[in-house]
Amino acid sequence: MAIISLLTNIPATPYLLIIVFSAVVASIAVKLFKPNGINKPPEDPLKELDAPVSVNYFPSRKCNYACGFCFHTDTSSYVLPIDEAKRGLRLLKEAGMRKLNIAGGEPFLYPHLLSELLRYCKEELRVESTSIVSNGSKIRRKWLRENFQWLDILAVSCDSFNPETNKKIGRGDDGGNVVRLFRIAGWCREYGIKFKLNTVVNIYNWDEDMVVNIKNLAPFRWKVFQCLIVAGENDDETGKRDARTFLVTDEQWRTFCDRHKHIPCYVPEDNKSMASSYLLLDEHMCFLDKGEGMMTKSESILKVGIKEAMKQVVWDKQSFVERGGIYHWDRSDMPQQSVCSGGSSSKELEW
């Protein structure tokens, strides 16, 4: 009662100041001493990488293009039964997979398989991010309209904005790659899918200036790869491809990089960055090691499990992180203007 009486005799303004000061002190104390609060040190990004955090899955090697530098050629026509593919994806998710990228071959040669795999990953496995890498020739608006809710990222490979250059590389013979590319980018914006671009720097495009087209295309991420030789795949005339004539010198690679490095979405990967930094899974669900020397592969994860299969290949986790393998790969920041947009209008996408 004495305290209450004392407080009632204190003028209002000093009393309010005491309350505010006490609240500030309490707030600071909570921030400084609260367990697991904002001052908790960030987790080491390498800590979780004993798990298959990001997996590149090739459900088929079949492709309708014949790119001269391809390092995953159509030497097999095998496609895993859907139930077995789902079983493998579940094993990967249980082992810690957060992102699944489906590549090939050309994935859109099997649109129904794609739909089923994506739906299973997002609705049943709750995979954090799903993506596809395609040459763009078989992507249809109807498919995107029916499946966009299960796809976070769509990447299209384009090595040149010159139709004749694309023909020389082997990306089809109709010269329509660029028209389709801009059309697909527009569809991705319409359906809230993150649009990504992949480019391989080779002897036919290293001196091309792509700045204006990249800004107009506005991908959220532009992966630029140095043409790569993989032993047993594209290293000589005995294989399906011989990429030796497509190689660029280090100086030519740097010239291309210097010309485009100011573009915010530009992400370069030279041969050293790529070697063993990708966790690759083939059509039999065997991990592939495409690092130095002959390509090797693990036993199937369906047979020996994830941990044992990962022990049988080299995956350079440090290189995976350093090349930007972990990034904002879900759609929680959609819709947003792309960092590469440069103020592009929708008319630039009306092809």
Residues in the chain where the model's pLDDT stays below 50: 1-42, 337-338, 342-351
Amino acid at 111: P
pTM > 0.85: no
- Does 67 participate in catalysis according to the annotation? yes
pLDDT of residue 230: 74
Q: pLDDT tens for residues 259-271?
A: 999 999 999 999 8
- On whether residue 75 sits in a domain, the answer given is yes
- On whether residue 3 sits in a domain, the answer given is no
pLDDT of residue 14: 45
Catalytic site residue from 67, 158, 227, 286: 67
- On whether residue 27 sits in a domain, the answer given is no
Residue whose C-alpha is closest to residue 132's, from 159, 146, 145, 150: 150
- On whether residue 35 sits in a domain, the answer given is no
- Does 188 participate in catalysis according to the annotation? no
pLDDT of residue 182: 97
- On whether residue 25 sits in a domain, the answer given is no
pLDDT of residue 296: 84
pLDDT of residue 334: 78
pLDDT of residue 127: 98
- Among left, alpha and beta (phi > 0; psi -120 to 50; other), residue 111 is alpha
- On whether residue 185 sits in a domain, the answer given is yes
Q: What is the CATH number of the domain that holds 134?
A: 3.20.20.70
Structural domain containing residue 143: 54-349
pLDDT of residue 67: 84
Number of domains the chain is built from = 1
- Does 70 participate in catalysis according to the annotation? yes
